[in-house]
Structure 1
């Protein structure tokens, strides 16, 4: 017996599989498109911020190195820490390495501008001549009335063996250096002290009447190679004038006139000190050292002492920051951020070495130079 199977009814072409509309498969493409768009926006932000930051740090460099004391804002900026100007460039450099590699060089350039000219990195301008037999070590230090840790300063004096020592703010605290000054010739006038194992005599004092203060003394030191004149100076601090400024000063003008007038007097003080030194030199080799309260790239400093050699710029290396060493908790301790202490040598001197101290024996690090007279 055979069985015949009835044909199955046809129902047309097979239906397509149902479209899956699960939440995950529906949202995934959109999330990818958002990520792509987000990447483009981040890259653009990094690019624009990098360009703006580079222009900004170049502008800061121009203010600090070119405008300087000629404008109240750049004068104020010159006394502030400069390393923080590099933070945006560092952050953008890291970000560009991951999201905008074409801006790596731009951010590296901005970081270099901050690390070198803005922060005042110094290398010898020419070959440093070797020291001669007549070379002497000159040390200058603001000892902060002995209120810091003067024993540390004494240890540095022992290490450097200076033939000429110039101290500022030495109204008190010099008793700590009894061992170092034993048998030395000493001239001590007010806050100034000039000492040497060779004979020292006072020539003259310099007072700047608008500030009603003694700003320097001039001494003669009888070195074995012949007499030289030494000026120990401490110029007035702008700290009090800057205290007149407020966050709203650029908008309201509060305190700007006081700062402008003060810096005009500082220029006058520096110019009169230069005349005092020239008139008192008596044709002898001259050294000027002390706390100038003036950053290295100040237009007042560079203009006033043209013809003299800043010994750190001639033979020093690095930043040479000298102040402040003792700060509050908002800045690392014993990490000065500005070089306001200097030693200048007249054209009769060769400079062989220059540097700064390493301890926080005072709120200033000491400075030293090894120099020798070309002629006596």
Structure 2
């Protein structure tokens, strides 16, 4: 018998290790990293815009330009980057949500105190302690003055103030015929209560009448009312163009005009204070500046702004006319205001929706 051994069987081959799975995390792609960095830069830009608006304000010509330009476009990068982040980098959604919230909130000057009151609510009948004030820059009665007056009447006012009421208009004679009325220069006031002219506000720097001051004899005592129209900032901003930038004169020209506007505002306030005495005060009209501007704050900041206290939403009042690269009848600036002294409480403030003028109607109910 043979004792030869059978050859040993070869060892089984080593099991192949499974290859590690390929990462499908899109947040590590070059595009995702770009979106993340751009989102951070955009948030920093939005914060910088807030500083320019509320700290620098009109003290620098770039701050002036941002103050009066539409503010909604500052939110567009956050929307675009947010949509891109949803596709390839979800963490960037939060950054863009914060940036968009800052634009829609503080940058666009959203006001929320009146949110509890439904829009379009019919105001209560006027009482002895309330005073309804309505103001509008009627832009020389163009384009649809009848529409303006119709909207004014819907607020059932006690006092109506119009600016840029150049000359006579047949509808003015028919509007509120039994009221006490005064038409001085380009300012028109009508009141349920007796009124008398106290002074006109002369602007020496612009050589024009910038407002009038009257006294109303209301059931709760005399009230001083000023109907004003400050100079537009647009005339200074148009000096910022390619030619002046190349010559290095843009900043000087814009700053010079801003200083003239400050002087005029101080002149108006000096006349108002000189004739007010100890009586309650209401100031209304076209201020041609938002309440966030330092030009407004340093002259009128001690008074209550009716929309800031009791308004709802953005309350933009101008411009309503066709503007290049912007929607018609979609204003972007709140430059028309109703202000009052601390003797008044502000019940509500509303901005009209009609487009009978380049400026929207502003209405406030005040209570003593």
TM-score band w.r.t. shorter chain: 0.7 to 0.9
Matched, 1:191 2:186: yes
Matched, 1:84 2:73: yes
8 A Cα contact 2:180 2:195, kept in partner: yes
Matched, 1:339 2:366: no
Q: How far is the alpha carbon of 1:200 from its aligned partner?
A: 1.5
8 A Cα contact 1:235 1:291, kept in partner: yes
Greater mean deviation of Cα atoms: 87-96 or 239-248: 239-248
Q: How far is the alpha carbon of 1:146 from its aligned partner?
A: 0.5
| Matched position secondary structure for 1:167 | strand
Q: How far is the alpha carbon of 1:39 from its aligned partner?
A: 7.2
Quote the Cα distance in structure 2 between the aligned partners of 1:325 and 1:126: 24
In the alignment, what sits opposite 2:282?
287
| Matched position secondary structure for 1:325 | coil
- Pick closer, same or farther for the CA change 1:173–1:41 going to 2, 3 Å: farther
- Pick closer, same or farther for the CA change 1:134–1:50 going to 2, 3 Å: same
Within-5 A mapping of 1:334-373: 334-373=329-368
Matched, 1:113 2:102: yes
Within-5 A mapping of 1:215-234: 215-234=210-229
Q: Deviations over 1:57-90 (max 9, x none)?
A: 1100110111111111101111110000100001
Q: How far is the alpha carbon of 1:305 from its aligned partner?
A: 1.6
Quote the Cα distance in structure 1 between the aligned partners of 2:46 and 2:228: 34
In the alignment, what sits opposite 1:97?
86
RMSD of equivalent CA atoms: 2.4
Q: How far is the alpha carbon of 1:103 from its aligned partner?
A: 0.6
In the alignment, what sits opposite 2:260?
265
8 A Cα contact 1:148 1:361, kept in partner: yes
Quote the Cα distance in structure 1 between the aligned partners of 2:30 and 2:168: 61
In the alignment, what sits opposite 1:155?
150
Quote the Cα distance in structure 2 between the aligned partners of 1:286 and 1:168: 18
Matched, 1:181 2:176: yes
8 A Cα contact 1:307 1:347, kept in partner: no
8 A Cα contact 2:199 2:213, kept in partner: yes
Q: Deviations over 1:78-109 (max 9, x none)?
A: 11100001000011111101111011100000
Quote the Cα distance in structure 2 between the aligned partners of 1:142 and 1:37: 55
The count of residues paired between Structure 1 and Structure 2 equals 339
Q: How far is the alpha carbon of 1:296 from its aligned partner?
A: 2.2
Q: How far is the alpha carbon of 1:190 from its aligned partner?
A: 1.0
Quote the Cα distance in structure 2 between the aligned partners of 1:259 and 1:198: 43
8 A Cα contact 2:160 2:189, kept in partner: yes
**What is the TM-score of this pair, normalised by structure 1?**
0.85
8 A Cα contact 2:26 2:89, kept in partner: no
Quote the Cα distance in structure 1 between the aligned partners of 2:180 and 2:72: 42
| Structure number, greater radius of gyration | 1
Alignment equivalent of 2:40, drawn from 51, 57, 61: 51
- Pick closer, same or farther for the CA change 1:175–1:282 going to 2, 3 Å: farther
Alignment equivalent of 2:51, drawn from 32, 53, 62: 62
Quote the Cα distance in structure 2 between the aligned partners of 1:294 and 1:362: 18
Q: How far is the alpha carbon of 1:192 from its aligned partner?
A: 0.6
Q: How far is the alpha carbon of 1:251 from its aligned partner?
A: 5.8
Quote the Cα distance in structure 2 between the aligned partners of 1:111 and 1:99: 19
